[in-house]
Amino acid sequence: MGIIELNGLEVRLGGRTVLNGLTGELQGNAIGLLGPNGAGKSTLINTLLGFHQAIRGSARVFGLDTHHDRARIRQGIGYMPENDSFIGNMSGVRFVRYMAELAGLPPGEALERAHEALFYVGLGEVRYRKVNSYSLGMKQLVKLAQALAHGPKLLILDEPTNGLDPMARQRMIQVIKDIRKEGSIRLLISSHLLRDIDETCDEVLILKNGRIAALCNIEAERRSNRNFMELETVGATEKFSVSIRGLGCECACFPGGRIKLVMPDHVEARDLYVIASEQGVQIRRMNQRRDSLEDIFLRAMDSEMERPTYVSL
């Protein structure tokens, strides 16, 4: 069973289809949610939280239906919203305690967990200050603390580094990495920053126009996808390029003996050296790279296929 299961999920808002036939199973410890503005990311999050009802299909979180089991799902989810929604004259610890009580904890336990959560995210020393006196970075961290305080099974983070300076961003990313490494809480992270997802997630769901453009394990996608190679050669001729293509490679030649190629899985670097040796070609330099998350994202955005890209998990 996946953490999140989507089965033909369709959601309409204001007479417009926002999510259109989403089907897939999300199993990663940390799942990145990507897509351009208007792709449906926020609508999907709100649907998982039970705020929007599907007109067709269904969505499940840990096997629970997002419509019929809304209360049980919310007990197991910690949600860090993109926009601030504080009670400004509350201290940090009082605010986190209040949110933990709303999540169902008794007052005494809620207070204890509030202190723990604030120390965990690095706000222990300022927990008695009023929230409206916090810096932007501190406000982001107190939003994270309130999402953690009641001990959720799934933590949903919506743009967790939004507006942060480089040092505050790195602090937030490190806390997220620590949560993932600890392993008891699964993460769903929505961001428009590819770097955030690349640093924290092992699986990615990419939406485009309300549909799934790609759903994949990031590392598996990098390993299994197109293998790019750049060569700098001396003495290479058209015959060398033809021989490389004969191995099944896609090949493009440039002035100065530069060659760019895409190697299929069954071709290895030593195969290129064998051909070069046979033809008297010197390979002076060879650079190999795998797909980055940016490559995966751009390919998903450029794809005109009706069916999304899936990779075995």
Task: State the Cα–Cα distance between residues 50 and 17, nearest whole angstrom.
Answer: 17
- Cβ pair 81, 116 in contact under 8 A: no
Sheet holding 30-34, edge to edge: 77-80, 154-158, 186-190, 30-34, 203-208, 211-217, 309-310
Domain with CATH 3.30.70 in the chain: 227-283
CA distances from 144 to 63, 121, 158, 185, 240 (A): 25, 8, 10, 13, 57
Please, where in the chain does CATH 3.40.50.300 lie? 4-221
In this model, does residue 312 exceed pLDDT 50?
no
Confidence of residue 208 (pLDDT cuts 50, 70, 90): very high
Domain 227-283 has CATH 3.10.20: no
| Helix, coil or strand: residue 299 | helix
Average pLDDT over residues 62-76: 92
**Distances, alpha carbon 243 to alpha carbons 10, 248, 282, in Å:** 50, 9, 15
Residue 92's nearest CA partner among 119, 67, 66, 72 is: 119
CA distances from 100 to 76, 93, 124, 128, 150 (A): 12, 10, 17, 17, 5
Give the pLDDT confidence of 249-306 residue by residue, as tens digits. 988 888 889 998 888 878 888 999 999 999 999 999 998 766 678 777 887 887 644 4
What is residue 226's predicted lDDT score, i.e. its pLDDT? 62
For residues 124-148, average pLDDT = 95
| pLDDT over 90, % of the chain | 70
> What pLDDT is attached to residue 30?
96
Residues 184-192, mean pLDDT to the nearest whole number: 94
Instruction: List the beta bridge partners of residue 65.
Output: 60
pLDDT of 152 above 70: yes
Query: Per CATH, which fold does 4-221 belong to?
Result: Rossmann fold (3.40.50)
Residue 149 CA, distance from chain mean position: 23
